[in-house]
Amino acid sequence: MRYTGLRFKKIEAEKMEDSTGGNINVNSHFNLGKVKKEEDFTKDSEKPIFSFEFVYDIEYEKVAKISFKGTIYIEIEEKSIIKELEEDNPKITDNTLRKFILDIVLARTHVESLHLEEKLNLPFHIQSPRVSIGEKENQ
């Protein structure tokens, strides 16, 4: 598998109400939609390119929501996955492919989601890195 591109159709951030302090539960949801074989982009018939529609949401209880909607393009080499995706109503059952798609979408949306969270004065959906300084052992 090889990542060949990603196009966003919609990036949306909405703050419905100010938080009243305390802890806010943050949940994320990832859904894959239509799968399509991209004949125009495919250069090698042995390695077709497929497009996968996706929606990735980060929800802050009833306080806010950040949403990314788009299409990711993947070149597939494995024959069994190609056969599965070429069916009339394809379903993605291969966990390696699902993980590959999710990893790329998360990597491509990570910085933008942090930027939007900062603009809306929301807590970050993932913990920021922290440094721990300890005494150096004498050897």
Q: Residue 11's domain spans which residues?
A: 2-119
- The verdict on residue 108 lying in a domain is yes
> pLDDT by residue (tens digit) across 19-63?
666 678 889 999 999 999 888 876 777 889 999 999 999 998 888
Total tally of structural domains belonging to the chain: 1
User: Across residues 57-74, what is the average pLDDT?
Assistant: 93
pLDDT, mean over the chain: 87
- The verdict on residue 127 lying in a domain is no
For residues 80 and 7, the model is more confident at 7
> pLDDT by residue (tens digit) across 95-133?
899 999 999 999 999 989 999 989 988 877 777 677 788
For residues 77 and 41, the model is more confident at 77
Distant-in-sequence, close-in-space partners of 80: CB < 8 Å, separation ≥ 6: 94
User: For position 10, which CATH number holds?
Assistant: 3.10.420
- The verdict on residue 133 lying in a domain is no
Burial 39-76 (b: 16+ CB within 10 A, else e): eeeeeeeeebbbbbebbbebbbeebbbbbbbbbbbbbb
Six-digit token pair at 1?
A: 């598998």
Does position 134 have pLDDT exceeding 90, yes or no?
no
